[in-house]
Structure 1
Amino acid sequence: MIEAKAPGKLYIAGEYAVVETGHPAIVVAINQFVTVSVSATTGYGSIVSKQYQENSIYWQRVGDEIVFDDRDNPFHYILSAIRLTEKYAREMGHPLALYDLKVDSDLDSEDGKKYGLGSSAAVTVATVKALNEFYGLHMTADQLYKLSAIAHLDVQGNGSLGDIAASVYGGWVAYRSFDKQWLAAARRQHTITELLNRDWPQLDIELLTAPANMELLIGWTGSPASTAHLVDRIADSQTTTNKETDYQNFLHQSDAILERIIAGFRAGDLEAIQQGIRDNQDALNYLTQFSGVEIETPALLQLRKIAEQYGGAAKSSGAGGGDCGIALIDRAADVKPLLAAWTAVGIEPLPLSVHESDPHQVAQHSVR
C-alpha cells in the first residue's frame, strides 16, 4: 500500500487580489493533513473516505432546472486528480491499473466542523502524490503543483490555486497566480507532459522564512463559508455595480501592502509584518464597502479586536465570511489571556502550527 499526505493551509494576506493574474498573497501550510492511500486490486476499484460518506451539496435554479454545484464536494476533486494523473501516466508510457483509494482527513473535526483549512486542495494534492508514487512517475514538486492546479481548477473554476502551493511546498509561501487564460489556451495545444515542463506566465512561488519571534494563532468563528461562492460574488459585483475603478484601486493597495509584508519576512521584521496584516484587513474592508460582500463578519471583527488588545495583529483568513481568522504575535508574549478572551466570545482557538517546507522536496528558492 502507498500512502501520501498533504497539509491544509491558511491564507495570511492578499486574499481576493491573488485571484487575479500576478497579484501576490502569503499562504501557510498547517500541520493537519489529508492522507490518501492506494493499493492495487482486481475486479473493481474503490474510492472511500469515512469523512465524506455524507457530503452536503449546493444547487441553484437556472430557469426551471436544478443545477448542482460540485465545488464543495471533495469526491469531484479526487476524481479530477485521478483523471489528470492517469492521463499523464499514459503519456509517460505507464499502463493503468485497478486500485483501492482511501482518504482520511484531519482538516475537519470528528464531529463534522469544517474549519476552512483547504481540504479540497489538500485532497487533490494528496491524491496526485499517491498516484505519482503508485505509477512511479517521479514528478518534481513543480510538476506536482502544476498537475494538482489543473485538476483543482477543472472542478472549482476560479480561485488563485495558492492553497495548492501550500499543500505541495509546505511552510510560508509568497504566491502569485499564473495566467489562467494562457493555461486554457495552452491546454488545447499541448499535452499534459508538455504543460508540466513549461514555465507558466506570471506564476511565482517563493518560500519564506518567518521571523524567529513570530507566533501564528488561529481562531475559528464557528461559521463555515464557501470560498468558491464568495469569489463568485466578488466577480459578479464588478459587472453588476460598475465598480471596476474601485476594484483596480483595491488591487493596487493589496499589491503594495503584500510587497511590504514579504519584505518584512525577508528582513525578519515582525513589526513590519504585523502592520502589513492590519493594512491588508483595511483593504479587504474597502473591498466590502464597494462590492457589498461581507468578508469580515462580526465574529471575525471580535477576533481581530481582541487580538489587538493583547499585542497581536489580526485579520480574516482566506475568503472570510466566516471560517478562521489569524493573529500574528511576539512569541515572548503570554497568549493565554488572548485565547481565553476568544473562547469567552465563542471563538475556538485551533491548536495548529506551521507545517514546515521539506528541504529535500523543494530544491529551489523561487519557482515559476
Structure 2
Amino acid sequence: MITEQAPGKLYIAGEYAVLEQDCPAILVAVNQFIRVSIIKSKSGTGLIHSKQYSQSSIHWVRRGAKMVIDNRDNPFEYILAAISYTERFCLEQKVKMKVYDLYVNSDLDSSDGKKYGLGSSAAVTVATVKAILRFYNVAFSNELVYKLSAISHYSVQGNGSAGDIAASVYGGWIAYQTFDKQWLANELAHKTLSDVVNEAWPGLKIQLLTPPAGLKLMIGWSQKPASTSRLVDETNANKAALNGQYQEFLRLSRKCVLKMIAGFEHNDIQLIKKQIRVNRKLLQHFAQINQIAIEIPRLSKLINIAESFGGAAKTSGAGNGDCGIVIADRNTDTAFLEDKWRQNGIMPLDFRVHQIRVVD
C-alpha cells in the first residue's frame, strides 16, 4: 500500500485580493493532514472510501425550475477530479491503467466533524495526485503536483486562487500570486495536459519565506464552519458594480502584503504585525462594501483579546467563521491569551507550521 499526505493551510494575509493576478498573499501550511492510501484492487472493481466524508451533505440551488447540485463542498468531487487529471497525465506518459482501492483519512476536521477551515478540498486534491503518481511510478516534482492539483481543483470549484494548493504542496510559509485563469483554460482546450504542466504559467509566483526568530503563530477557532466558495461567489458578483472601490482594495492589499513580505525578508516582526493590522482594516472595509460578513462577532472577540495581549490578529481566509490568526512575539503571554479565548468560546488550536522537503 502506498500512502501520501498533504497538510492543511491557513491564510495569513491577502485574502480576496489574491483571486486577482499580481496580488500576493501569504499562507502557511500546518501540521494537520489528509492522507490518501492506494493499493491495487484484488477484484475487478475499485473502491474510494473515507470514514470522515461518508456523511457529507449535498448542497443545491434553484436555477429557474431546475434543481442544480453544488458539489464544491463535496470532497469526493475533488478526489475524482484529481484521479481524472492525474490519470490523463499518466496516460500521456504511456502508463498502463490499473484498478485500485483508495482510502482517505483526514485530520482537518474536529472530532464532531466540523471543518476548521484548513483547506481540506485542496489537501485531499494534493494528496490524491501524489498517491496516484506514486502508484504508477511516475516521477514528480512539487511543481508538477501543484499544477495537476490546481487544474483538478479549479475544474470543480470554478473560482479561487489555488493558494491553498500551493501551501499544501510546498509547506512552510509562502508568498503566493495566482496564475492567469483564462490563459490556462485556453491552453487546456488546445494542448495536451503534459504540454500545459510543462509550460511557465503567466502570473504564477510561489516564494518560500523564512519567519523572523521569535515570531509565534497562534490560531483560534471560532467553532463556526464557513463556505469559502459561496463567499467568493458573492464578492465576484459585485466586482463590476464596485469597480473603483474594488481596484483600490486590490491596490492597498498588494501594497500591504508586499510590505509584510519585506518584514519576513528583513526579520522585522513589528513590520509584519503592523501590516496584519492594516490587512484587517482592509478586509473590514471590503466586507462593508460587499455587504458580507467576514469578521463575525466571535472572530472580532478572538482578535480583540489577542490585541489586548500585544498580538496582531485578523481573520484567516474567507472569514464568516473558521479561524483567526495571531502574530505574536516573545513578549506575548500566550498561555493567558489562550485561557481568555476559552472563556469566550474560542478554541485555541495547537498546530505547528509544517515544512516539506523540496522535490525538484
* Amino acid corresponding to residue 303 of structure 2 in structure 1: R
* Amino acid corresponding to residue 355 of structure 1 in structure 2: H
Q: Deviations over 1:273-305 (max 9, x none)?
A: 000100001111111121111111111111111
Q: Which residue pairs with 2:306 in the alignment?
A: 307
Separation in 2, partners of 1:289, 1:225: 18
Q: Which residue pairs with 1:205 in the alignment?
A: 206
Q: Which residue pairs with 1:338 in the alignment?
A: 337
Separation in 2, partners of 1:283, 1:71: 27
* Amino acid corresponding to residue 87 of structure 1 in structure 2: R
Q: Which residue pairs with 2:187 in the alignment?
A: 186
Q: Which residue pairs with 1:256 in the alignment?
A: 255
* Amino acid corresponding to residue 281 of structure 1 in structure 2: R
Q: Deviations over 1:214-271 (max 9, x none)?
A: 01000111111000000000011224xx211000000000000000000000111100
Give the superposition deviation at 1:52: 0.4
TM-score of the aligned structures, taking structure 2 as reference length: 0.98
Structure 2 unaligned segments of length 5 or more: list them: none
Q: Which residue pairs with 1:268 in the alignment?
A: 267
Kept after mapping to 2: 8 A contact 1:70/1:155: yes
Kept after mapping to 1: 8 A contact 2:8/2:168: yes
Equivalent runs, 1:157-306 vs 2, <5 Å: 157-239=158-240, 242-306=241-305
* Amino acid corresponding to residue 49 of structure 2 in structure 1: V
Separation in 1, partners of 2:82, 2:111: 25
Secondary structure of 1:22's counterpart equals coil
Secondary structure of 1:188's counterpart equals helix
Give the superposition deviation at 1:332: 4.7
Q: Deviations over 1:317-338 (max 9, x none)?
A: 0000111000010035321111
Q: Which residue pairs with 1:78 in the alignment?
A: 79
Secondary structure of 2:62's counterpart equals strand
Runs of 4+, deviation exceeding 4 Å: none
Give the superposition deviation at 1:189: 1.5
Structure 1 unaligned segments of length 5 or more: list them: 364-368
Separation in 1, partners of 2:2, 2:330: 38
Separation in 2, partners of 1:294, 1:113: 20
Identity %: 52
Give the superposition deviation at 1:109: 1.7
Per mean C-alpha deviation after superposition, the further-off stretch among 327-336 and 93-102 is 327-336
Q: Which residue pairs with 2:104 in the alignment?
A: 103
Equivalent runs, 1:30-109 vs 2, <5 Å: 30-41=30-41, 42-109=43-110
Give the superposition deviation at 1:150: 0.1
Kept after mapping to 2: 8 A contact 1:254/1:280: yes
Q: Deviations over 1:19-76 (max 9, x none)?
A: 1122100010000000000000131000000000110121111112211100000000
Separation in 1, partners of 2:294, 2:112: 26
Q: Which residue pairs with 2:7 in the alignment?
A: 7
Equivalent runs, 1:94-133 vs 2, <5 Å: 94-133=95-134
Kept after mapping to 1: 8 A contact 2:311/2:332: no
Give the superposition deviation at 1:195: 0.9
Secondary structure of 1:29's counterpart equals strand
TM-score of the aligned structures, taking structure 1 as reference length: 0.96
Kept after mapping to 2: 8 A contact 1:21/1:180: no
Separation in 1, partners of 2:263, 2:11: 17
* Amino acid corresponding to residue 154 of structure 2 in structure 1: L
Q: Which residue pairs with 1:18 in the alignment?
A: 18
Separation in 2, partners of 1:22, 1:194: 24
Separation in 2, partners of 1:351, 1:320: 20
Separation in 2, partners of 1:333, 1:208: 23
Q: Which residue pairs with 2:323 in the alignment?
A: 324
Q: Which residue pairs with 1:352 in the alignment?
A: 351
* Amino acid corresponding to residue 298 of structure 1 in structure 2: P
Secondary structure of 2:167's counterpart equals helix
